[in-house]
Structure 1
């Protein structure tokens, strides 16, 4: 079985050497050996595990989620598909909340952009700047 040095593995999967070292420090990935001069070596299983980690990251899983998924992957009979689904559903709910926040942000921004004339009037009359100004505190309004 061929061994890959850290740079070769990083290049193969499109990540940085620092990312690999970070995952190693976090306990998500292990080098299968080291050369006499300290180069890390990885085998095919390491490559598959790194691909799994990177794919999970692109789906938004946290390192803690990935750690949990890797543990299940190593011993799949100790957990059920429902356990894995529960982790994924939790992530999906988190993504849905974030999307709702982003949609609300977009709606608010769209409203002020459409209200702006965008013309050559001085910026002190700009409706976007006015919309961003805080309201006066109640004490100042009472004066």
Structure 2
């Protein structure tokens, strides 16, 4: 199958297939000698589907590499897989706690302005310009709001850059 068909069956854009191929997560396809098109097979679809499932769980490339490696060792213990998921779950729980704290900070900030008025009198802008001494103003958040923000270098590193 060609790249468009692979992407369609996996439910992703063609550029996603190209990206995972560049990153090395998806094995390079063989090129058709007559037209130079990439030719993918069911093993590509299986692997791409697996990668996309992992990404839907917000796993990093390093975590995906570790799981892909584990798939290649069907008789090995799954202890490392359990540990990887336990660690990932802790990262997710920490991010959720940070998001709850952020929510509280935004609620507090929003409470600084109860009515529409001139921006020079806006309590939100005043609070952002001159924060008082309340707890929400401390830089408590350690992760960005972008998914996949935890480091996976301690999980597994194939020398590939992380997305």
Give the TM-score range, shorter chain. 0.7 to 0.9
Tell me if structure 1 keeps the 8 A contact 2:6–2:40.
yes
Bigger mean CA deviation after superposition, 49-58 or 36-45: 36-45
* Number of aligned residue pairs: 131
CA distance in 2, matches of 1:135, 1:42: 57
Aligned to 1:8: 5
Which residue of 2 is the match for residue 21 of structure 1?
18
Picking from 74, 77, 80, the partner of 1:76 is: 74
| RMSD between superposed Cα atoms in Å | 1.7
The runs of 4+ residues in structure 1 deviating greater than 4 Å are: none
Cα distance between partner residues in 2 of 1:12 and 1:62:
23
Equivalent residue for 2:154?
none
Q: Distance in 2 between matches of 1:35 and 1:63?
A: 29
Q: What are the superposed Cα offsets for residues 24-78 of structure 1, whole Å, 9 maximum, x if unpaired?
A: 1222112452211221111112111110000000101001110110010121223
- What is the SS of the residue equivalent to 1:115? coil
Length-normalised TM-score, structure 2: 0.73
1:99 deviates by: 1.1
Check if 1:41 corresponds to 2:39: yes
Match of 1:114 among 89, 111, 115: 111
Which is higher, the Rg of structure 1 or of structure 2? 1
If asked which structure has higher relative contact order (CA below 8 Å, sep 6+), I would say: 2
Residue of structure 2 equivalent to 1:85: 82
| Structure 1 unaligned blocks of 5 or more | 137-143
List gaps (5 residues or longer) in structure 2: 133-163
Q: How far apart, CA to CA, are the structure 1 residues paired with 2:120 and 2:10?
A: 52
